[in-house]
Chains A and B, each alone.
Chain A
Amino acid sequence: MKRELVTIFIVVFILVGLPVGVFLYQRQQSNPDSAERAIHIQAAVPESGGFQPAAIQVNAGETVTLRFSSVDVTHGIAIGPSLGIDLGHVDPGHVKEVTVTFDKAGTYTFYCNTWCSPDHWRMRGIVEVTDPNNPDAIPTAYRDPIIERLVAEGVNIDANVNMGMADHPQGDTLTFEQPPSIEKGQILAATLSIPVELEDAEWRLSHTPMEGLELLTDQNPSTPMNDLIHVIAYLWVLDTPSEDIQWAENYYNKNCAACHGQTGDGNGPAADQTAESPVAFGDAAYMFGMRSDVLYAKIRRGGMGTDMPNFGTLLTPEETLKLVGYLWQLAWQSRAG
């Protein structure tokens, strides 16, 4: 009888104790320190539901461990803005985690940065960070002076704008047989008279290279216009730190190249799946009619009806400007086509 009881105990232990033990162990694994919480987030392509859970709540100042696993294909996991968290690839069935303290109340976004499906760009989830003293208030919007200025100027950010080239009297006489060269521009700039506006980063932000070229031509009428193009190329990447370019190139390659192409030719592997053809940043002629602030606004807000997602929830304004800076690098390297 004793033997029977022991056996029954073993069976009950297997049927009840094993599952309970598993969950207790998992709880303990997830919570090595009672003050720290672990949240498991399952990643699947958006067509199958995207992130589960897609929204998590955290208190400001709380340290949490976010554990990501993929249930279908390889995803890339990053969290922004301003956190600089990039977990890299998460393969199916594998787990990657990051322990993070969200200092300030606000909304952060975790997202996939590896092209995983046609709806890849929709693969996002949010971390709502609340102030424990004021849990109902989550800052969701903040002022963006650059976008506000564009709106005040009457620029339609959602339109397919290319400002300056078409309207400019010399716009269609420009040729880009030789790609604009930053190096040539730097040498030439030392021999030319540069208008003060062109040396002002704020001015360049809100004007097109074509408008800059007009000012430069006025002040240097004897220099061939195709030489001045190089100078404009140089001026448009002036004061861009190399580490910013490096960061932006990495970010562009992970998040933008799938559509816009790694060389900015507008012909990435997913280009044929978007509602509108992706812009070719490597097309110098096109970029000569583009403004940095408009690029900035399009990156942050996304392109209405074009399948261009918004990156405003993923990047800080400063990070966005770094990315814009890299687009000019692509333009002048002219690797399009």
Chain B
Amino acid sequence: MSLPSPQFNQLGTLQHFLTLDGLDKATLTAIMDAAENFTSVGDRMIKNVPLLRGKTVANLFFENSTRTRTAFELAAKRLSADLLNVDLVTSSTNKGESLLDTLRVLESLQCDMFIVRHGESGAADFIARHVKPTINVVNGGDGQASHPTQGMLDMFTIRQHKGDFEKLCVVIIGDIRHSRVARSGIAALNTLGAGEIRVVGPRTLMPTDVESMGVSWYSDLEKALHGADVVMGLRLQTERMSGITIPSSREFFATYGLTKERLALAKPDAIVMHPGPTNRGVEISAEVADGPQSVILDQVTNGVAIRMAVMSIVMGNAEPLREAAANGVLEDTPSNKKTNSTPSEKAGSPHV
């Protein structure tokens, strides 16, 4: 009874990459398989492939970001795309121009793909519903809602180190309530059939009815860590916390900080992940972040391969639509001015 997802185009293929909620296992696996092929590109003498040659990718960051923006930039360059970095944090959107006006301007610059980061939940979804049908939108993080490429690079890193998801016990510690990384990770872990997903933190950092998201809530970190295969820390989203959620970062570390002693309660071969930037001494101790079980830097490296995979897949999926538009068969105008006139999602499992 809800609005059909705008992720799929009229051909039933993945046009936009907005959220992992609703994508099936085959789709997630195909993205990881594609990323597998891209991991070696960075090791070559010539670090690029011509898949997106002649295409223009615009980084539209309405919110500050360093690592996500850099990873997308590098991914676009390794795919040989032309890249436009638009700093919207200090740009026209602060001068009263509406989000839609900004998009129309950038559409007129004949970009093929928008990478979007925005402070409002649902912003990527909104943008995808309002761009021309030939444009791809990739969500680089929207509000507290979704950060799907981060979710995928986390899954890819887990697969590299642990293989099958079904037997895994994954523990996610900290600020679930305000975290788009946690939402995307939890959606993907559920789809990939993870054995058990535990979220740990005080109630103030848990979304309402957190169990409805397919996880078990633990208030005690030490109990939660028993038998864990994967331990994920999250950055405390101090900028998204309204009011009081924790008394102090010192108390948070005392109660929920991931230390060497606590990590010893997990399985001996457990891996430690964190989306970064890490607040050492707040969510994680330095010796764990830099320790032998940490795969945090693997996550960073994998971030480029995953983004190359996502960008090349959605760009390829939109190619027939671009050709149709070029031949005048497809009307090259915004697909739906009204939210309720979104083209229906095609029945059956969508193709990647």
Q: Do A and B come from one complex?
A: no
Binding site for B on A (CB under 8 A): none
